[in-house]
A = this chain, B = another copy of it.
Amino acid sequence: MLEGNEQQLDEIVSSFRRISHAFQQLLWKDAEELEITPTQLMVLRKLSVHPEIGITELAELLHLGNSAASGVVDRMVKAGLITRQRSESDRRSFKLSMTDKGIEIRERSKQSLRRHLLPLSTIPIEDAGELLRIHGEIVKILEQGRDKKKL
């Protein structure tokens, strides 16, 4: 992959930028009609699978920094989508839960996402599998490299 010249490297970088961008656009389309943002929708999704988690755990699930997670949570509390309650056992941390409004949007999002991913259904199932596999490889490599540098 690396013997490529300058232009091939640029192609790879551009491809990633572009795919990220295009996918982000799709997620916005999806979230827009629910009157919420993609990140906030993702928070609802995670919260429905992992209820009662704190901000640090949420940050890990979303691969975000703590400060970013804190900000999202703050805006979502203000928007009445989730609740932030001090934990009894550990008064440093919070327990996040969805409000009724949050639950409702999360439910509606199930159909919504499906509808917006529809155009992608023309992609052969093997390709989808390959994509996920290669993405997995890349993420593994990149996150490994990052952790190494931390030590």
Contacts and interface: CB of A to CB of B under 8 A. Distances in A.
Contact residue range for chain A?
35 or more
A86 to B, nearest CB: 29
Interface in A121-145: 121-125, 127-128, 130-132, 134-139, 141-145
A29 B139 CA distance: 15
Given A13-B27, A17-B42, 10 more contacts: A2-B118, A2-B120, A9-B114, A12-B117, A12-B132, A22-B143, A123-B137, A127-B134, A130-B130, A131-B134
Nearest to A6: B110
A38 to B, nearest CB: 9
A151 interface: no
B142 A26 contact: yes
A1 to B, nearest CB: 4
Contacts of A143: 22
Nearest to A15: B135
Contacts of A12: 117, 128, 132
A9 B142 contact: no
Contacts of A108: none
A146 interface: yes
